[in-house]
Amino acid sequence: MENNYPAYREKHRRTHSSEHDPVKNKILIFIFFLLIISPLSAQDADMELNEEEYFEVPGVNILAFSNWYNGLFSDSKISGIEIIHHGDRTATNGDVRLHATPEQWDAIPTFSERKVDRENGRIDTYQEYPDYNFKYMVRAEAKDDGILLSVHLEEAVPETLVGKAGLNLEFIPSAYWEKTYYMDGKGDVFPLYPSSDMNKDNTGYTSPKPMATGQKLVLAPEDPKRRVTIISEDAELMLHDGRDKAQNGWFVVRSLIPEGETGKVLEWFISANAIPGWSRKPVIAHSQVGYHPNQKKVAVIELDKNATPEQTATLQKISEEGEKIDVQTGELARWGQYTRYNYFHYDFSEIREPGTYVISYAEETTAPFRIGENIYEDAWHPTNDIYFPVQMDHMLVNEAYRVWHGASHMDDALQAPVDHEHFDLYAQGPTTDTQYEPGEHIPKLNIGGWYDAGDYDIRTQTQYYVVNNLVYAYEDFNLQRDQTSVNYDAKYVDIHNPDGKADMLQQIEHGTLALIAQHRAVGHAIPGIIVPDISQYTHLGDGLTMTDNLIYDKNMDSLESDGYRSGKFDDRWAFTSKSTPLNYGSIAALAAASRVLKGYNDSLAQECLTTAKNVWKEEHAKEPDLFHHGNTTGGTLQDEELKAAVELLLATKDQKYAARITEMWPVIDSNFSSHSGRITRVLPFMKDSFKKKMRERTMAYQSELDAHYQENPFGVPIGRGGWAGNGQVIAFAMNNYLLYKAFPDLIDKEHVYKALNYIYGTHPDSSISFVSGVGTKSKKVAYGMNRADFSFIAGGIVPGVLILKPDFPENREDWPFLWGENEYVISVGSSYIYLVNAVNSLVNE
């Protein structure tokens, strides 16, 4: 296929010129002369393949398979050809796909090889769909101010994929809705809400019809920050609205791969407009909650790599009349480059006077934040008062005039089928490991537990982590707050309605009931409970509407019911394969819960402790069950056993558990950053030789902490996986807090403070608080059960900043469906409650 794109664009420009106007002709000649003698502007700069192996002109980056589809959740919107347009990632998934608007769980290709040819400005990526014996190569090649994107085949597209396989490129709706587009000169507007005409094929599969078709598409011509042009000389371009198929869909540009052709079978030219001289605005990363007067106070200034830094920043106090009064102007300390940005520190620790402040740097000014002695006292309240009650399964949850959800899943649960690998990392082994047959109802599992995240499963590994954290928070900080009414007889929770009982104890009880129910029902911990069908898993809204709450009876018609059972196959499945690590993790939480439930629910406390001791004894009398799958069957055998030994020692004071902990020193030593905080709790019960080992190992740990200050300007461990790292950051701080309490002469409090500051806004990409409803500017668009409403749940904590390879930090506030950045999970909520109270105790020492 001959390359005529520059000629095509020049021809297009000429058709809109005024070539017969003499005055305008003279002006055009003069402009042309200036262009000849002037340096090339940013707008006219050629696209180049840089050392980070993506294409770049100032203001525009085009990635070519720098990132890959997520193997667990298939399409996570971080793969293929991607456009980072004036600092925002606006397009993704430029690749061959088998549907016009692929859903998250639709087929994705298998990656084979990525070849980078920097000399010729080209990246070739080889992939295949093995189920169809379909192999192809996608080539991205720098050309003028854009790239040529082409698909190459050695063998023609298989007959079964003719009319299905096509080159797709997806554009995020939040960047384009209410903007215009032109297809072959005909204009229209991107819709705020999807309303396309739908096709239905002979199998019943529905898909949206194109909003427009043609050879040249211009997106957002009126917006220089978002204008993108796609030209296809031969293949037809089709513009679809993927939200008609799924709420998390994007706008999709697509061309079908032609039948019977090989070689270069399809080619687009893609050009994203670059604003001349554009530079990303500075980010003044700081705590949106504020600072205690005694704390070190350091803002982190994030700058575009091409920006010229200012020398100073200014702290201003806001008066009652609204006047901004300069309090301190300080020199910036250069930290260096991290990812694609340059960073500077602004230290205003000397300012201790309580009040409301802002920070100004260059033309940017932050939102107001406080300096005050009580700023952390209530920062955990939304998580306690709102988020955890909303996540409570098997209960109707009411808040004033609003019902968050009904009492769902009262039909829990059916025995999962054997030899079955499910979605979301659940699997059942070759036997049920219970007295129940596949598909048979397991009674008494319909109590307690929290929705794990934005979906509706009860993942045991998460449940016991949460119970442990809440127990620690209650024990260490005596959290007696009471703002929620919980009535198990009525299956009713009422937010903002005190009932005379500590909310923390009620939440511990709720999680414990779900854990002990497993031991009651089948005699051991189980991986978890989850819906059987993907259509239920993607459910948005009230969990009650997922099921009829009636136990499934296979002998009934799908519409038949006797008021107790029904023929509707909508019950969740219980995955029940035995796992010794999971059993240990479960009894660790049961032993911990027994300590605080004593005096609150004595019978449950005694049952938990008895169960924990019996399971410990049983597991040590046999070979371990090591069925393992994903993150639903517990951690490593030794890690989970160590947790159980610690909690049983704390609950019983029995020295046999102390002896086992001593034997497991190599486990502690090798994973010190995870276990050391927990181990400090049992030091009073350990021998002096063990205490000495802990102190010496803590001294060595200091260098590991200091290393984080060399890794990034925020001084905390920032993960690089497909799930952002707020949970890791908080766990890091919890561990450091407990080590500080044990060895205050060895651990600096800053290793605790920095982590909470990070959660509250001192992080890359923006300065938003990752705790919804906490801090001046906080997450208001997140991946909770109400994500389709582009809303939030107060007190929920999102995963945070996702570092996309090779160098792009991202956390979008305008698109909730990026689960790796924005999905609330109960595990982080529980550890956050602990950390806030830990910091509050430190600043008030």
CATH classification at residue 771: 1.50.10.10
CATH number of the domain within which 342 lies: 2.60.40.10
Looking at the fold, whether 92 and 232 belong to one and the same domain comes out as yes
Check whether residue 154 and residue 252 sit in a common domain.
yes
In a domain, 492, yes or no: no
Where does 511-646 show beta strands of DSSP type E?
A: 528-530, 551-552, 565-566, 573-575
Q: 320, 337, 371: which is the final residue of a domain?
A: 371
pLDDT at residue number 703 = 85
Q: How far apart are CA 477 and CA 514, in angstroms?
A: 25
User: What single letter denotes the amino acid at residue 494?
Assistant: D
Do 318 and 262 lie in a common domain? no
Of 371, 394, 418, the position where a domain reaches its end is 371
Evaluate whether residue 572 is within a structural domain: no
Residues pairing with 61 in the sheet: 56, 84
Residues 99 and 174 reside in one and the same domain? yes
Instruction: Check whether residue 691 and residue 834 sit in a common domain.
Output: yes
* Domain extent at residue 12: 5-37
Mark which of 223, 244, 272 sits at the end of a domain: 272
Q: Hey, what are 840's tokens? A: 């509050």
Q: What is the CATH number of the domain that holds 143?
A: 2.70.98
Question: What's the first-to-final CA gap in the chain, in angstroms?
Answer: 73
Q: Are residues 290 and 171 in the same domain?
A: no
- Give the pair of three-digit tokens for residue 652: 């019983």
- The answer to whether residues 291 and 375 touch, using CB atoms and an 8 Å cutoff, is yes
* Residue burial 686-715, b: 16+ Cβ < 10 Å; e: rest: beeebeebbeebbeebeeebeebeeebbbb
Do 724 and 802 lie in one domain? The reply is yes
Looking at the domain assignment, is residue 428 inside a domain? no
Asked if residue 161 and residue 142 are part of one domain, the reply reads yes
The residues pairing with 267 across neighbouring beta strands, listed in sequence order, are 150
Measure the CA–CA gap between 375 and 379, rounded to whole angstroms: 7
Q: Does residue 530 sit within a domain?
A: no
pLDDT along the chain (845 residues), means of 10: 40 38 41 35 74 96 93 84 98 98 93 96 98 98 97 98 98 97 98 95 92 98 98 97 96 98 98 96 98 97 96 98 97 98 98 98 98 97 98 98 97 98 96 98 98 93 98 98 97 98 98 98 98 92 93 96 96 98 98 98 98 98 97 97 98 98 98 96 98 97 88 95 95 98 96 98 98 98 96 98 97 96 97 98 95
Q: Is residue 738 one of the residues assigned to a domain?
A: yes
List, edge to edge, every strand of the sheet that includes 186-189: 110-117, 122-129, 134-143, 146-153, 263-272, 228-231, 216-219, 180-183, 186-189
Helix (H, G, I), strand (E, B) or coil at 732: helix
Residue 782 has a pLDDT of 97
- Is residue 55 situated within a structural domain? yes
Total domains, the chain = 4
Asked if residue 337 and residue 267 are part of one domain, the reply reads no
Residue 141 lies in a domain: yes
Is residue 116 in a domain?
yes
Note whether 358 and 306 are same-domain residues.
Answer: yes
* 158/54 same-domain check: yes
User: Is residue 151 located within the same domain as residue 268?
Assistant: yes
Q: Comparing C-alpha atoms, which of 771, 800, 781, 744 is closest to residue 382?
A: 771
What was the pLDDT predicted at 12?
38
Tell me the three state secondary structure of residue 82: strand
Spatial separation of the C-alpha atoms in residues 493 and 355, rounded to whole Å: 38
Give the Å distances, CA to CA, from 517 to 155, 375, 528, 578.
56, 39, 12, 15
